[in-house]
Amino acid sequence: MSDCIFCRIVAGEIPSQRVLEGGDWIAIRDINPAAPTHVLVIPRRHVDSIAALEDGDGQLAGALLLAARDVARHEGVAESGYRTVINTGAHGGQTVAHLHVHVIGGRQLTGHGTA
Ligand code: 5GP
Ligand code: ZN
């Protein structure tokens, strides 16, 4: 998926601020942060969204949640709390069609989104 912006970030073709990485994922700072901590956990493998996950992808899906936990610890927001958001498709407000988990914290959040 050479036209996918997150695949290009995973490949290092587009620069990003990497926070952490694991075998199946990388975590980068969001280019337009909604809070003091706003990190995106991105699987190295291209998957469009949760909707495109297959039954055999449970290990990857779990790894992304554990990565979000590790990012929160790394960013020092594990105790104060944080929000994890996964937008899916048009009505979900997904703008980049490569699955990613937002990890947002460092201030009191309201509502349920990334705002
Ligand atoms: P979505 O709306 O799909 O849930 O979230 C996409 C997120 O990716 C947005 O928060 C947006 O700011 C972020 N984003 C889009 N393009 C780039 C980029 O090139 N680099 C980084 N670091 N973040 C990006
Ligand atoms: Zn991709």
Residue nearest to atom 17 of ligand 1 (CA): 31
∠ CA 110-94-40, rounded to 5°: 70
Q: Is the pLDDT of residue 1 over 70?
A: no
Chain-wide mean pLDDT for the chain? 96
* Residues 84, 103 contacting (CB under 8 angstroms): yes
User: Does 100 participate in catalysis according to the annotation?
Assistant: yes
Residues, Cβ < 5 Å to ion ligand 2:
1, 4, 6-7, 46, 98
Catalytic residue among 46, 100, 102, 112: 100
Atom of ligand 1 nearest to the CA of 94: 3
Q: Which phi and psi (to 5°) does residue 57 adopt? A: -95, 15
Q: Where are the domains positioned within the chain?
A: 5-105
Ligand 2: centre distance to CA 94 (Å): 13
CATH homologous superfamily of 5-105 equals: HIT-like (3.30.428.10)
77-111 pLDDT, tens digit each: 999 999 999 999 999 999 999 999 999 999 999 98
Predicted TM-score (pTM) above 0.75 = yes
* Residues 61, 24 contacting (CB under 8 angstroms): no
Distance CA 17, CA 34 (A): 16
Query: How high is the pLDDT of residue 15?
Result: 98
